[in-house]
């Protein structure tokens, strides 16, 4: 493989913002000394865990150490996933962060190890410095010859100028399409990347500003470029190893990246890419940006995956592995053996362990308040107090969070603007929590089908007491 491509022409599609379970989290909320502020960036309490994560953040940012492993362990609903999201936010866009749930790797299309390998390679970024030839000029004229029949290949000519020169280029179908799509017209100042053919519009030329009376509010005027039309420029971009794999694997092609269906990638492709990347690093053309692979609900992995992780962590090109679980001592999937967190001790031995604790009433109140703001729900003080009480009594922060939206709907139904105690009460009666649901089952057990209590095995080993 002589020519390894690192860029594809298709851009990512912009995402639509929605309110998700963790959308209120904007970072870890640490100060410069890595001390956790009680409430900051949407994060509340859990200061020890956040501080520990801050140290991991620094390790990742320095990018020197490969293959560190961190485990976040704690009871359900104590913010393990939230802290991982906070870390992802603090890392910024440059550093890859891959989020995976333990059960996701059991799919029919791919073997478990292939799915894990891809996840590892998605979490390693390569910052590549490249020199590209860039055309930067003002458009003088675009001339497109349409075939008489109206169909067939279009041909055309593009005349460009800088302050010093003027030059005409032949246009093919692809360039004509690109120019039409970007709505380029004469008087625009544009750049064309010679390698990919990507056209970017910089603005309109000052010289043409008097041509138009009515300009849109977004019209930007720029100077006509000086000097030579073609320039060499250094561009820096970061891609993940997995993206390079996919773009260069012949059976897939870069379109597979956007379909999300990449299938298995041949080992030889990966080896060639590794060699190439090592070469670039030696020449100073590329740098490794180790990111984070976050596997939530890690107890869902089985013994084969765990031994794969052991090995993968020792690789040079390994990201920081972050895993989370709410399990206590339980069976390791694929074996009959019990182990802490359902993970083999040799893997646990390689991990730094961070724990999360139950929240105090004050912290619960703060989190619920933040969630109300996030969901745009106006709630009165007493109703919020009741929510906190519900959270403590049911032992479930999540249940209390769910009640916010339903209480809001109850409030809207009665055409109110602020959620009151009564709305929360109503919602509490409409939707029961796990404890009440269990009590209900106990009471009416004879009326349900397949009622069966297994006293021998204790399979539910989550850390909740
Ligand atoms: N310290 C916190 N600050 C702000 N929001 C929090 C905090 N802890 C938890 N939350 C919010 O509470 C909800 C439950 O937390 P989260 O999903 O992180 O729990 P978890 O520990 O991952 O639980 P599980 O073990 O069930 O996966 C989420 O909406 C989360 O964003
Ligand atoms: Mg979680």
Q: What tens digit of pLDDT does each residue of 112-146 get?
A: 999 999 999 999 999 988 887 888 999 999 888 87
The residue nearest atom 31 of ligand 1, judged by CA position, is 22
**Residue to mutate (ligand 1; options 43, 80, 81; most atoms within 8 A of CB):** 81
Lowest mean pLDDT among 259-268, 297-306, 437-446: 259-268
3-state SS class at 220: coil
Contacts of 465 (CB under 8 A, 6+ apart): 75
How many angstroms is it from 82 CA to the middle of ligand 2?
7
Ligand closest to CA 464: 1
- Evaluate: CB of 81 within 6 angstroms of ligand 1: yes
The residue nearest atom 27 of ligand 1, judged by CA position, is 76
Task: Say if residues 227 and 164 touch (Cβ distance below 8 Å).
Answer: yes
Give me the half-sphere count of Cα atoms (radius 13 Å) on the Cβ side of residue 51: 10
- Give the residue carrying structure tokens 């020197």: 64
Residue-level pLDDT at 15: 44
Ligand closest to CA 27: 1
- Evaluate: CB of 89 within 6 angstroms of ligand 1: no
Both tokens of residue 266?
Answer: 């041949």
Ligand closest to CA 364: 1
pLDDT at 259 over 50: no
Specify the CATH number of the domain 361-431: 1.10.8.60
DSSP 333: B
**Residue to mutate (ligand 1; options 36, 75, 82; most atoms within 8 A of CB):** 82
Query: Residues 163-201: pLDDT tens digits?
Result: 989 988 888 887 888 888 888 888 899 988 877 778 888
Both tokens of residue 341?
Answer: 């967190």
- Evaluate: CB of 37 within 6 angstroms of ligand 1: no
CA torsion, ordered 100, 103, 107, 110, to nearest 10 deg: 50
Mean pLDDT of 206-210: 75
CA 377 to centroid of chain Cα atoms: 27
Q: At what angle do helices 241-248 and 112-122 cross, to 10 degrees?
A: 120
How is domain 17-123+291-358 classified at the CATH fold level?
Rossmann fold (3.40.50)
The residue nearest atom 9 of ligand 1, judged by CA position, is 79
More confident residue, 202 or 151: 202
Distance in angstroms (rounded) separating the CA atoms of residues 337 and 20: 37
Helix or strand (DSSP H, E) at 168: strand 166-171
pLDDT at 254 over 60: no
DSSP 36: B
Query: Residues 370-406: pLDDT tens digits?
Result: 999 999 999 999 999 999 999 999 999 999 999 999 9
Please give the backbone phi and psi of residue 338, each rounded to the nearest 5 degrees, phi first: -95, 150
How many angstroms is it from 83 CA to the middle of ligand 2?
9
- Evaluate: CB of 73 within 6 angstroms of ligand 1: no
* Burial annotation 145-182 (CB, 10 A radius, 16+ → b, else e): eeeeeeeeebebebbbbbeeeeeeeebeeebbebbeee
In 17-81, beta strands by DSSP E: 39-40, 43-44, 69-73
Residue-level pLDDT at 364: 94
Distance in angstroms (rounded) separating the CA atoms of residues 383 and 419: 7
C-beta atoms surrounding 57 within 10 Å:
22
pLDDT at 16 over 70: no
CATH class of 125-285: mainly beta
- Evaluate: CB of 383 within 6 angstroms of ligand 1: no
Q: What is the pTM of this model?
A: 0.77
Residue-level pLDDT at 235: 78
How many angstroms is it from 94 CA to the middle of ligand 1?
25
- Give the domain ranges of the chain: 17-123+291-358, 125-285, 361-431
How many angstroms is it from 80 CA to the middle of ligand 1?
6
Burial class (CB within 10 angstroms; exposed 0-12, middle 13-18, buried 19+) of 443:
exposed
Q: Which atom of ligand 1 is least distant from the CA of 45?
A: 1
* Burial annotation 269-285 (CB, 10 A radius, 16+ → b, else e): bbebbbebbeebeeeee
Distance in angstroms (rounded) separating the CA atoms of residues 174 and 162: 24
Both tokens of residue 316?
Answer: 């040079």
Residue-level pLDDT at 233: 82
């Amino acid at each position: 493989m002589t020519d390894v491509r690192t860029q594809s022409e298709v851009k990512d599609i912009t995402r639509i913002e929605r309110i998700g379970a963790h959308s209120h989290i904007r970072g870890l909320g640490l100060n410069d000394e890595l001390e956790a502020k009680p409430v900051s960036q949407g994060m509340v309490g859990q200061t020890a865990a956040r501080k520990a994560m801050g140290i991991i953040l620094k390790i990742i940012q320095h990018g020197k150490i490969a293959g560190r492993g961190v485990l976040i362990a704690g009871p359900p609903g104590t913010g393990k996933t939230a802290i991982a999201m906070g870390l992802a936010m603090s890392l910024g866009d440059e550093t890859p962060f891959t989020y995976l749930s333990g059960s996701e790797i059991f799919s029919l299309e791919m073997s478990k190890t292939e799915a894990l390998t891809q996840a590892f390679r998605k979490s390693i970024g390569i910052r590549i410095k490249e020199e590209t030839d860039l055309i930067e000029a003002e458009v003088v004229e675009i001339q497109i010859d349409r075939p008489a029949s109206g169909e067939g290949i279009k041909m055309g000519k593009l005349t460009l100028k800088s302050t010093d020169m003027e030059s005409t280029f032949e246009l093919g179908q692809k360039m004509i399409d690109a120019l039409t799509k970007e709505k380029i017209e004469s008087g625009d100042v544009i750049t064309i990347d010679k390698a990919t053919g990507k056209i970017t519009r910089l603005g309109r030329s000052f010289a043409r500003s008097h041509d138009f009376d009515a300009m849109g509010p977004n019209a930007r005027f720029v100077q006509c470029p000086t000097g030579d039309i073609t320039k060499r420029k250094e561009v820096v971009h970061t891609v993940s190893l997995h993206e390079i794999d996919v773009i260069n694997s012949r059976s897939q092609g870069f379109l597979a990246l956007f379909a999300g269906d990449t299938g298995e990638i041949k080992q030889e492709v990966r080896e060639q890419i590794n060699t190439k990347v090592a070469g670039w690093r030696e020449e100073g053309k590329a740098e490794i940006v180790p990111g984070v692979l976050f596997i939530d609900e890690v107890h869902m992995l089985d013994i084969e995956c765990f031994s794969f992780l052991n090995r993968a962590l020792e690789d040079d090109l390994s990201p920081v592995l972050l895993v989370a679980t709410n399990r206590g001592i339980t069976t390791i999937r694929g074996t009959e053996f019990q182990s802490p967190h359902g993970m083999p001790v040799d893997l646990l031995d390689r991990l730094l362990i961070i724990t999360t604790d139950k929240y105090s009433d004050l912290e619960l109140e703060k989190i619920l308040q933040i969630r109300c703001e996030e969901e745009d729900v106006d709630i009165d003080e007493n109703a919020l107090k009741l929510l906190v009480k519900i959270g403590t009594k049911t032992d479930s922060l999540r249940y209390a969070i769910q009640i916010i939206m339903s209480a809001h709907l109850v409030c809207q139904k009665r055409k109110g603007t602020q959620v009151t105690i009564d709305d929360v009460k109503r919602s509490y009666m409409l939707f029961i929590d796990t404890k009440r649901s269990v009590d209900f089952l106990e009471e009416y057990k004879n009326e349900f089908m397949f009622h069966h209590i297994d006293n021998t095995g204790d399979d539910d080993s989550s850390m909740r007491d």
